[in-house]
Amino acid sequence: MKTINPGKQIKRMHNAPLHLRRKWIAAHLDENLLLKYDKRAIPVVKGDTVRVMRGNFHGHEDKVAKVNTKKNTLEIEGITMSKADGNKIAKPVHHSNVMITKLNLTDKWRREKLERDLSEETRKEIEKEAQKQLSEAKEEQKIAEEQKKLEEQTEKEKESTGQEEIKEKPAKEEEKQEQPEEQKTSAKKQTETKPATQKKTTAKKTSAKKTPKKEEK
């Protein structure tokens, strides 16, 4: 049923199932793609390169990071906004404010839909582009896996160093506890030796003072 009433249209849009919303999140193709695929608009997919046509980020071109089917918005790499606490998050962009400049052809179902009613030359070009994109995706996955391994190794090294420090701390505390006992014994010995030396010095002083008095007599 088609309706002209805008209230019913809005209600249907908000209450529509996800498989219909997914088709509605579409964007116009660039001129080169329009002539190549003979289509005006195509649903946007994660991985498509996109150019923003309106708003503060007008002219920004980058890949789509996420497609939100509930809010009919896109998350594009490089478009962020800052929160009140200073953290940055992705800024949603409506699909109508965007133009597709490069398609993600890694999905075979999408390729089959695009290749319908096209010449053999264009089909071969699509397959070549798809192979390139698949090889690039595999390389990116390898790089990401290597980075994860490095991060895991660094975390393990940090944990091992932290455990060693925890083990070393009690040994140092025991050494510190033993040192004061040795210092106390050495201090006692010094106190025992000091009075004897003081008595000797006093005795010498008294003898030196008494001798000149005897000579005067």
The residue count of the chain comes to: 217
Q: How confident is the model at residue 190 (pLDDT cuts 50, 70, 90)?
A: low
Mean pLDDT in residue range 189-195:
56
100 within 8 A of 33, measured Cβ to Cβ: yes
User: Which of 50, 67, 69 is closest to 59 using CA atoms?
Assistant: 50
**Residue that finishes a domain, picked among 85, 104, 123:** 104
pLDDT in tens, 15-32: 999 889 999 999 999 999
Residue-number span of the structural domain to which 157 is assigned: 110-170
The sign one gets for the Cα dihedral 120, 125, 27, 48 is positive
According to DSSP, the β-strands at 26-29 and 61-68 are unpaired
Residue 128 token pair: 């070549």
pLDDT in tens, 34-44: 999 999 999 99
Residue 129 located in a structural domain: yes
pLDDT in tens, 110-155: 999 999 888 899 899 999 999 999 999 899 889 999 999 999 888 8
pTM: 0.66
**Residue that finishes a domain, picked among 71, 104, 137:** 104
pLDDT in tens, 65-81: 999 998 889 999 999 99
Write down the pLDDT at residue 196: 47
3-state secondary structure of 197: helix
Residue 187 token pair: 């201090």
> Pseudo-torsion of CA 169, 173, 174, 175, nearest 10°?
100
In percent, how much of the chain has pLDDT > 90? 50
Q: How confident is the model at residue 161 (pLDDT cuts 50, 70, 90)?
A: confident
- Tell me: do 1 and 54 sit in the same domain: yes
Greatest Cα-to-Cα distance within the chain, rounded to the nearest angstrom:
145
- Tell me: do 79 and 27 sit in the same domain: yes
**Beta strand extents in the chain (DSSP E only):** 26-29, 41-43, 49-52, 61-68, 73-82, 88-94, 98-102
DSSP 81-106: EE-TTS-EEEEEEEGGGEEEEE----
70 within 8 A of 149, measured Cβ to Cβ: no
Q: Is the pLDDT at 203 greater than 50, yes or no? A: no
Residue linked to tokens 């053999």: 120
Pick 173 or 213 by higher pLDDT: 173
Write down the pLDDT at residue 171: 63
- Report the CATH number at residue 34: 2.30.30.30
- Tell me: do 57 and 116 sit in the same domain: no
Q: Is the pLDDT at 8 greater than 90, yes or no? A: yes
